[in-house]
Structures are given as structure tokens and as C-alpha cells.
């Protein structure tokens, strides 16, 4: 057993951390999020060109570095620590994984563009009636001549307003919640000029990302838009979601390390009753509980990351254990970081408020703690 990073992984972590410390300013990032275009494309290009992190986990033949789950964890945690809002999980983790497993020529060219920082993908999967149950797919795709025709509605598609490509789940056979019969489609996309048969409404999310609701009504796609087998996308999709969960779990670790450090520092500085509030035992115990939640979160992220390449059932079980733990920790650490900062924690003036909003989104993203406890129970009942 070895929890150490290799020299190359340490170098990757240090270079990302150093880059973000010098180039990624929280105030600037919030400004583009609220009143700008929603992200910093020049930072994204630098991720590809100066740091190489967009290709860190992609295969070498598409211009990547061929890294695996540990590289994914190292990058995600560093991005979380700096509260990066750019679409790493949607594009590199979900897009990279789904396209990589599809193997087709079109997919390969998009992968190359992702590694080069030229493509942004969004995963259009949640629907008005699906919650975070990703095999609950009502959107349909049917063959018509050489084309596919897609009808249905997707909601809260994160990164769609920035995307050059959509990855859309649609049902080609079976009942609404069957895992069989789900297909995956690659759609060239320009949010400013959506193709005929696509209606898009875009907005900001509570954690300062951009997302869209998308309605497909008779969208026509060329035959080669289908990625992988018709009706056989679920294995790849469920794996992609598990990889995304491992990434947001690692991101949450970065976020929580930062808010815990900020909270402890604030408790040392803030004076009330003639002494630092960090000297009060009730608050010390709370911060120790936060610390223990963070350490469990780190361990949970390891559990997920180190099982990403295991068989499907082992991977799913480890990922659900991780997400249940991370959701609980994100809530406890986020809420108490706000509480211990007092009124200042309720404002946009300190970092903690912004981090709390991202931690809140992560609590629910890709399924709540309860949902993953239920999946874990299902997988372990023998």
C-alpha cells in the first residue's frame, strides 16, 4: 500500500498550484462569472498550453499525457482549492472519458481539441423528471433514413453556454428507466446559434457556473453522431458519472482544505470577550470535527480514485461510499465555516461565502448522500 505521489505527480500538483496562485484571482473569476462571459477562455488556453492539465488524463495519441485517476485527483483538488469555475469536470473528465471510450474518428478529433484547449463539451443528461437518476431517460432518438431525430428536454446542463459540443443521452429503445436502450450522441454546438430543432435557455448557477435548459424538437443528426453501440451507452455513461464523482470529490477536498484553513485563521485573529474566539472550547471542538470530516473526505476521495479502474461493481460501490461521505462532509464543513465566520461568512466579501456555495452544489451534484447510500446498500446486500 502506498499513498505517496510519484515525482511526476508531485510536479503536476506543484505546477498547477503555483500557476493558480499566480494567475487565478478569485475576484476576477467572480467578476466574469456574474457580469462577464462566465469563464476566462485565456486561462483555459493556458491550462492546455502552459500547464498541459487538459490532456493530463487523456491518451498520448490525442495529444494527452496518458495519466490516470491519481492525476485526475491531483488536478481536481488543486482546481477546488482555487475555486476554479472553468469546465474541467464537464469537458475533460466526462467529455474525455465518454469520447475516449467511444473510439470513433469524430470522437477522436474532439478529444484532440479538448487536449489542445479548443473544445468544451457539456453532458446533457438530467431531465425535468429524472432528478440525478441518469438512466431515467425520456429523451428519444429515432432513425430516419441516414439521420437520427432527437426529441426531449434536458435541464441544468452545466457548461452548455460555453460548449462547442454536446454529449446527449437519448433513449433508442426500452422503458423510461431501463439501463438498456440508452444511446449517446455527439452534437456540434454553438450556443449563440443553436441548430434547427434546439431551443436553449442559459443562466448562472448558485455556484457561479453557467448552465442551460435545452429542448430538442426534431433535431436532425448525421448517422455518425451516435457514439458506441446503439442502446448500449449505459456502461460508459455510468462509468463517466463515477469518474466525475471522483473528480468533484477531489475538488471538494481542495475546497474544504481551504475553508478549514481560513476558518482556523479567522478564529485565531477574531477577538471577542478579550480573547481570540479560537480559544473557546466549543469552537475548538467544532473545528476539530471539521478537521476530521476533511480527513475522512480525503480518504473517501482516495477510495473512489483508487477504484476507478476496478470492475464495474467494485468501482460503483467505492464511488458511492465516497460521494455519501463527501456530501456529508461538504455540508458540515461548509455550514460551520460560515457559522464560525459569523456575519462575515454570510457575505460575498470573504472567500468562505463563495466556497460554501460551491460546496453546497457538490452536495447534490451527481446524487445526494442518501442516493449514494441507497446505491451502496443495493450493491452490498449480497
Partner 1 sequence: MELAWSEADAAFRDEVRSFLEEKLTPELRRAGRLATSVYSDHEASMEWQRILHERGWAAPAWPVEYGGCDWTQTQHYIFSRESILAGAPNLSPMGIRMVAHAIVAYGTEEQKSYFLPRILTGEVFFCQGYSEPEAGSDLASLTMAAVDDGDDLIVTGSKIWTTHATEANWMFALVRTSKTGRKQQGITFLLIDMTSPGIEIRPLVMTSGEEVQNQVFFDGVRVPKKNVLGKIDDGWTVAKYLLVFERGGAAAAPALQVMAERIAEAAAEQPGPSGGRLIDDPAFSAKLAEARIRTEVLEILEYRTLAALSAGRNPGPASSMLKILGTELSQTITQLTLEAAGPRGRVYQPHITAPGGPVADYVPPADGYVSGEEWQAVAPLRYFNDRAGSIYAGSNEIQRNILAKAALGL
Q: Where on the chain is the footprint of partner 1 (CB under 8 A)? A: 34-35, 126, 128-133, 136, 155-156, 177, 201, 203-207, 211, 213, 271-274, 277, 280, 282-283, 331, 335, 338-339, 342-343, 345-349, 353-354, 356-357, 360-361, 364-365, 367-368, 370-371, 373-374
Q: Which residue has the cell 496518458?
A: 66
d(CA 352, CA 278): 17
Q: Which DSSP category does 55 fall into?
A: S
Question: Toward partner 1, which CB reaches closer, 47 or 134?
Answer: 134
Residue 372 DSSP SS3: helix
CB 198 within 8 A of CB 219: yes
Supply the minimum distance, in Å, between the C-beta of residue 363 and partner 1.
Answer: 9
d(CA 235, CA 273): 59
Question: Toward partner 1, which CB reaches closer, 63 or 353?
Answer: 353
HSE of 59, CA atoms in CB hemisphere, 13 A: 13
Supply the minimum distance, in Å, between the C-beta of residue 44 and partner 1.
Answer: 22
Question: Toward partner 1, which CB reaches closer, 203 or 261?
Answer: 203
d(CA 132, CA 117): 29
Supply the minimum distance, in Å, between the C-beta of residue 376 and partner 1.
Answer: 12
Question: Toward partner 1, which CB reaches closer, 229 or 348?
Answer: 348
Q: What is the dihedral of CA 19, 25, 31, 34, to 10 degrees?
A: 70
Supply the minimum distance, in Å, between the C-beta of residue 210 and partner 1.
Answer: 10
Question: Toward partner 1, which CB reaches closer, 177 or 310?
Answer: 177
Supply the minimum distance, in Å, between the C-beta of residue 333 and partner 1.
Answer: 13
Supply the minimum distance, in Å, between the C-beta of residue 160 and partner 1.
Answer: 12
Determine phi and psi for 9, rounding to 5 degrees.
-70, -40
Between strands 147-158 and 210-222, the pairing is antiparallel
Supply the minimum distance, in Å, between the C-beta of residue 16 and partner 1.
Answer: 26
Beta bridge partners of 171: 140, 182
Question: Toward partner 1, which CB reaches closer, 112 or 136?
Answer: 136
d(CA 203, CA 228): 31
Supply the minimum distance, in Å, between the C-beta of residue 155 and partner 1.
Answer: 6
Q: Which DSSP category does 62 fall into?
A: G
Retrieve residue 122's grid coordinates.
457539456
Q: Which DSSP category does 232 fall into?
A: B
List the end-to-end C-alpha distance of the chain, in Å, as a whole number: 27
Question: Toward partner 1, which CB reaches closer, 231 or 334?
Answer: 334
Question: Toward partner 1, which CB reaches closer, 129 or 299?
Answer: 129
Amino acid at each position: 500500500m502506498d499513498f505517496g505521489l510519484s515525482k511526476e505527480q508531485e510536479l503536476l500538483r506543484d505546477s498547477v498550484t503555483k500557476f493558480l496562485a499566480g494567475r487565478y484571482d478569485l475576484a476576477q473569476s467572480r467578476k466574469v462569472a456574474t457580469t462577464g462571459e462566465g469563464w476566462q477562455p485565456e486561462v483555459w488556453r493556458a491550462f492546455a498550453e502552459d500547464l498541459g492539465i487538459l490532456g493530463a488524463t487523456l491518451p498520448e495519441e490525442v495529444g494527452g499525457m496518458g495519466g490516470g485517476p491519481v492525476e485526475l485527483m491531483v488536478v481536481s483538488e488543486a482546481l477546488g482549492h482555487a475555486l476554479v469555475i472553468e469546465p474541467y469536470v464537464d469537458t475533460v473528465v466526462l467529455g474525455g472519458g465518454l469520447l475516449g471510450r467511444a473510439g470513433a474518428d469524430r470522437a477522436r478529433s474532439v478529444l484532440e481539441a479538448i487536449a489542445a484547449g479548443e473544445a468544451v463539451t457539456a453532458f446533457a443528461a438530467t431531465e425535468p423528471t429524472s432528478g440525478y437518476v441518469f438512466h431515467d431517460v425520456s429523451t428519444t432518438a429515432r432513425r430516419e433514413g441516414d439521420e437520427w431525430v432527437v426529441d426531449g428536454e434536458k435541464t441544468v446542463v452545466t457548461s452548455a453556454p460555453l460548449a462547442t459540443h454536446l454529449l446527449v443521452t437519448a433513449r433508442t429503445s426500452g422503458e423510461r428507466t431501463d439501463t438498456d436502450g440508452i444511446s449517446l450522441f455527439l452534437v456540434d454546438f454553438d450556443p449563440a446559434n443553436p441548430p434547427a430543432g434546439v431551443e436553449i435557455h442559459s443562466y448562472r448557477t448558485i455556484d457561479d457556473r453557467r448552465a442551460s435548459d435545452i429542448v430538442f424538437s426534431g433535431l436532425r443528426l448525421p448517422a455518425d453522431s451516435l457514439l458506441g453501440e446503439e442502446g448500449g451507452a449505459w456502461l460508459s455513461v455510468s462509468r463517466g458519472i463515477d469518474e466525475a464523482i471522483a473528480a468533484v470529490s477531489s475538488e471538494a477536498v481542495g475546497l474544504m482544505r481551504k475553508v478549514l484553513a481560513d476558518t482556523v485563521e479567522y478564529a485565531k485573529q477574531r477577538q471577542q470577550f478579550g480573547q481570540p474566539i479560537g480559544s473557546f472550547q466549543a469552537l475548538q471542538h467544532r473545528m476539530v470535527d471539521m478537521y476530521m470530516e476533511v480527513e475522512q473526505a480525503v480518504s473517501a476521495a482516495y477510495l473512489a480514485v483508487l477504484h476507478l479502474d476496478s470492475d464495474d461493481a467494485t468501482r460503483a460501490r467505492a464511488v458511492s461510499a465516497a460521494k455519501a461521505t463527501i456530501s456529508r462532509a461538504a455540508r458540515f464543513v461548509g455550514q460551520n465555516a460560515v457559522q464560525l465566520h459569523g456575519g462575515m461568512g454570510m457575505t460575498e466579501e470573504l472567500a468562505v461565502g463563495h466556497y460554501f456555495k460551491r460546496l453546497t452544489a457538490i452536495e447534490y451534484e451527481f446524487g445526494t448522500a442518501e442516493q449514494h447510500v441507497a446505491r451502496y446498500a443495493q450493491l452490498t446486500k449480497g
